[in-house]
Amino acid sequence: MQGEATRYTANAAPDASLPAGTFDVAGAYQFCARLAKSHYENFTVASWLMPREMRPHMYAIYAYARMADDFADEHHDLAMLDEWERELDLAYAGAPRHPVFVALAETVRRFEIPREPFKDLLTAFRSDVNFKGFDTLDDLLGYSRYSANPVGRLVLYLFGYGDAERQHLSDLVCSGLQLANFWQDVAVDLGKGRIYLPRRDMERFGVTPADLAAHTSSREFVDLMRHEAGVARAMLVEGGELHTRVDKGLRRDIVMFAGGGLAILRALERINYDIFRKRPELAKTDYLKLGWSAIRGRLDV
Helical axes 55-73 vs 78-92, angle rounded to 10°: 150
CATH code at 31?
1.10.600.10
In a domain, 119, yes or no: no
Q: Which residues contact 162 (CB under 8 A, 6 or more apart)?
A: 156
In a domain, 124, yes or no: no
Are 164 and 204 within one domain? yes
Are 150 and 104 within one domain? no
Q: Is the pLDDT of residue 283 over 90?
A: no
Q: Which of 68, 89, 114 is the last residue of a domain?
A: 114
Are 158 and 84 within one domain? no
pLDDT above 90 coverage of the chain, percent? 78
> According to the model, what pLDDT value does residue 21 have?
57
125 sits in the region (left: phi over 0; alpha: psi -120 to 50; else beta) called alpha
Are 85 and 178 within one domain? no
Q: Is the pLDDT of residue 2 over 50?
A: no
In a domain, 224, yes or no: yes
CA angle 166, 168, 169 (to 5 degrees): 65
DSSP H or E run through 25: helix 25-37
Which amino acid is it at 301? V
Q: Which of 114, 142, 158 is the last residue of a domain?
A: 114
- Per-residue pLDDT tens over the stretch 68-114: 999 998 899 999 999 999 999 999 999 999 999 999 999 999 999 99
In a domain, 269, yes or no: yes
Cβ neighbour number for residue 108 with a 10 Å cutoff: 23
Say how far apart CA 265 and CA 211 lie, in whole Å.
Answer: 22
Say how far apart CA 128 and CA 276 lie, in whole Å.
Answer: 24
In contact, 243 and 251? CB cutoff 8 Å? yes
- Per-residue pLDDT tens over the stretch 191-230: 999 999 999 999 999 999 999 999 999 999 999 999 999 9
Are 149 and 295 within one domain? yes
* For residues 7-26, average pLDDT: 53
Give the pairing type, strands 5-8 and 21-24.
antiparallel
Are 151 and 286 within one domain? yes
Are 104 and 180 within one domain? no
Are 175 and 97 within one domain? no
Number of Cα atoms under 13 Å in the Cβ half of residue 164: 0
> Phi/psi of residue 194, each to 5°?
-120, 135
Q: Provide the pLDDT confidence category of residue 14 given band limits of 50, 70 and 90.
A: very low
DSSP 98: S
More confident residue, 283 or 274: 274
Are 149 and 64 within one domain? no
Are 10 and 90 within one domain? yes
Q: Is the pLDDT of residue 6 over 60?
A: no
In a domain, 190, yes or no: yes
Cβ neighbour number for residue 221 with a 10 Å cutoff: 24
- Per-residue pLDDT tens over the stretch 146-195: 999 999 999 999 999 999 999 999 999 999 999 999 999 999 999 999 99
Q: Is the pLDDT of residue 126 over 50?
A: yes
Q: How far is CA 39 from the centre of its chain?
A: 13
In a domain, 180, yes or no: yes
Which amino acid is it at 17? S
Q: Which of 66, 82, 114 is the last residue of a domain?
A: 114
In a domain, 156, yes or no: yes
Question: How many domains are there within the chain?
Answer: 2
In contact, 177 and 170? CB cutoff 8 Å? no
In contact, 175 and 152? CB cutoff 8 Å? no
Domain span including residue 4: 1-114
DSSP 19: P
Are 83 and 163 within one domain? no
Are 101 and 17 within one domain? yes
Whether this model's pTM surpasses 0.85: yes
Cβ neighbour number for residue 161 with a 10 Å cutoff: 18
> What's the mean per-residue pLDDT of the chain?
89
